[in-house]
């Protein structure tokens, strides 16, 4: 038994944000029916192609545990099939450009008339307001949500981050909204509209920087390196380089081998509680009691000196040795892991966070499995569907079409070339 068994998802999503959401629902056991434009499909199938002729990793890694039906939702027969899907499903998830669903003839009002129990879940770039009609991609959301202005170094430009907080981050937010709406429907019997804007999701994940904005209005942010360096603050939350966001001084430091390996670095935090252990480990026991070093407040203007000394020590060790030595002392450190190292991490395979998936067109590849573990809802990662692989199966077994009626749908061209 899986947590969402019996729940049917009409998956009208594409690219990254929406597909990450419906993939999670699939992992939790929902039947995810991905509706794709005949002959074309989700644009990511053919983006960043590494195996000619095969679906790209971009697509396969975001669309596990789904069935694919090709359907032209703008043709009359296609619309009638879509109407049947809306009748049958519990949730419609979409991340089209603003207004696209209405232009197809499926407004929220019409959807409610077709199936009042249906939950309509949408991702858009912005919530209601002056930017509501904009099309939005990942990096635009990172910029509009406050992440870019607070990421990077003080003397450099704003930076986007590799974590897809705009797309996958919003997919996660939407997923929570959907299961919450399903829970409420248990009591009310009614569906509702669930909306997640990418700007809002990024801002939610950048919450601590809005915290700092308001603290800044009361005085300088003493835990930022720039305070210790005597650099004046502007009127908005500055970029903090690799400072730790939680108020404890932290930096990324070089480790043994950094000259050849761009990832031979460790993160190193010096919390007040473990300061004395840090002093012992790096060979500066006198700093435990030395005036100007013993108390966290007094160290603030010496953080560069302190971290330079710690780095002198970390440069004599590999990033993994730093971890092994510091962990028993509860000194918070973390190796900077490359994607190569992560993709070879047996521990991550053992927990199912990394999985090997076989695919008929491209062979085996590594993917990220479900990072959310439920003790009573096992996850089996199933390869992504080929375009229209399940068109016939969905028309017949989910929607009950057969005989002449089925023939008519197929010959109308609404469902592409049936395989
Ligand atoms: N049958 C017929 N038409 C279909 C279809 C189908 N099965 N599936 C999609 N279409 C149509 C849409 O109705 C739309 O037509 P319209 O422009 O006449 O209304 C058209 O295809 C294009 O859809 P659109 O969503 O505008 O795609 P795009 O490639 O132009 O824009 C995004 C892509 C991601 C920028 C845009 O969808 C968007 O802003 N989405 C919301 C935010 C988001 O999720 N962004 C991140 C994506 S990772």
Determine contact, residues 385/361, Cβ cutoff 8 Å. no
Q: In terms of Cα–Cα distance, which of 129, 128, 147, 131 is closest to 139?
A: 147
Output the CA 9–ligand 1 centroid distance in Å.
18
In angstroms, the CA 296 to CA 290 distance is 12
Residues with CB under 6 A from ligand 1: 15-18, 35-37, 71-74, 95-97, 100, 103-104, 123-125, 135-137, 167
Please list the rounded mean pLDDT of every run of 10 residues in the chain (419 residues): 98 98 98 98 97 97 98 96 98 97 96 98 98 97 98 97 98 98 98 98 98 96 93 96 88 98 97 96 97 94 95 98 98 98 98 98 97 98 98 98 97 91
User: Looking at residue 418, what is its pLDDT?
Assistant: 83
Q: In terms of Cα–Cα distance, which of 224, 251, 246, 249 is closest to 237?
A: 224
User: Looking at residue 72, what is its pLDDT?
Assistant: 97
Output the CA 97–ligand 1 centroid distance in Å.
5
Output the CA 323–ligand 1 centroid distance in Å.
46
Instruction: Name the residue at shortest CA distance from atom 19 of ligand 1.
Output: 100
Strands (E), 162-264: 193-197, 250-254
Give the helix/strand (H/E) hosting 312: helix 303-314
The C-alpha angle 68, 375, 357, rounded to 5 degrees, equals: 40
What sign results for the dihedral spanned by CA atoms 314, 315, 316, 318?
Answer: positive
Output the CA 350–ligand 1 centroid distance in Å.
38
8-state DSSP, 122: E
Q: In terms of Cα–Cα distance, which of 59, 65, 61, 9 is closest to 377?
A: 65
Ligand 1 pocket mutation, candidates 100, 136, 140, criterion most atoms within 8 A of CB: 100
State the closest ligand 1 atom to the C-alpha of 103, by its place in the atom list counted from 1. Answer: 19
Report the predicted TM-score, pTM, of the whole model to 2 decimal places: 0.96
User: Looking at residue 245, what is its pLDDT?
Assistant: 76
Q: Which domains can be identified in the chain, with CATH numbers? A: 8-205+355-412 (3.40.50.10540), 207-254+265-335 (3.30.1540.10)
Token pair listed for 229? 């360096």
| Positions marked catalytic | 167
Determine contact, residues 91/178, Cβ cutoff 8 Å. yes
pLDDT tens by residue, 85-110: 999 999 999 999 999 999 999 999 99
Burial class (CB in 10 A: 0-12, 13-18, 19+), 224: buried
State the closest ligand 1 atom to the C-alpha of 167, by its place in the atom list counted from 1. Answer: 48
Token pair listed for 283? 């060979």
């Amino acid at each position: 038994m899986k947590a969402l068994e019996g729940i049917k998802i009409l998956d009208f999503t594409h690219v990254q944000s929406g597909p990450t959401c419906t993939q999670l629902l699939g992992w939790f056991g929902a039947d995810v029916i991905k509706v794709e434009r005949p002959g074309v499909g989700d644009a990511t199938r053919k983006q960043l192609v590494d195996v000619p002729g095969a679906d790209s990793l971009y697509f396969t890694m975001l669309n596990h545990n789904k069935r694919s039906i090709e359907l032209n939702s703008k043709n009359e027969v296609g619309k009638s099939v879509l109407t049947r899907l809306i009748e049958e499903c519990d949730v419609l998830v979409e991340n089209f450009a603003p207004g696209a669903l209405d232009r197809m003839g499926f407004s929220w009002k019409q959807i409610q008339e077709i199936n009042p129990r249906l939950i309509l879940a949408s991702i858009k770039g912005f919530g209601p307001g002056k930017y509501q009609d904009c099309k939005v991609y990942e990096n635009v959301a990172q910029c509009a949500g406050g992440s870019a202005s607070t990421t990077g170094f003080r003397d450099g430009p704003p930076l986007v981050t590799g974590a897809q907080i705009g797309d996958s981050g919003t997919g996660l937010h939407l997923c929570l909204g959907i299961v919450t709406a399903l829970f409420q429907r248990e009591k009310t019997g009614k569906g509702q509209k669930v909306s997640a804007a990418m700007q809002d999701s990024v801002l939610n994940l950048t919450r601590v920087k809005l915290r700092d904005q308001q603290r800044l209005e009361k005085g300088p942010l003493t835990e930022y390196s720039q305070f210790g360096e005597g650099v004046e603050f502007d009127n908005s939350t500055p970029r903090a380089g690799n400072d730790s966001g939680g108020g404890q001084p932290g930096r990324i430091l070089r480790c043994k081998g950094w000259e050849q390996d761009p990832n031979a670095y460790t993160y190193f935090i010096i919390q007040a509680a473990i300061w004395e252990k840090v002093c012992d480990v790096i060979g500066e026991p006198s700093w435990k009691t030395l005036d100007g070093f013993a108390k966290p407040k007094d160290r603030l203007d010496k953080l560069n000196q302190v971290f330079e000394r710690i780095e002198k020590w970390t440069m004599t060790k590999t990033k993994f040795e730093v971890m092994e030595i510091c962990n028993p002392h509860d000194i918070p450190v973390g190796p900077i892991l490359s994607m190569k190292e992560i993709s070879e991490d047996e521990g991550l395979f053992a927990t199912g966070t990394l999985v090997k998936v076989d695919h008929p067109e491209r062979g085996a590849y590594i993917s990220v499995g479900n990072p959310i573990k439920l003790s009573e809802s096992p996850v089996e990662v199933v390869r992504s569907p080929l375009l229209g692989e399940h068109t016939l199966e969905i028309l017949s077994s989910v929607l009950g079409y057969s005989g002449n009626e089925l023939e008519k749908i197929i010959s109308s061209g609404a469902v592409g070339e049936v395989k």
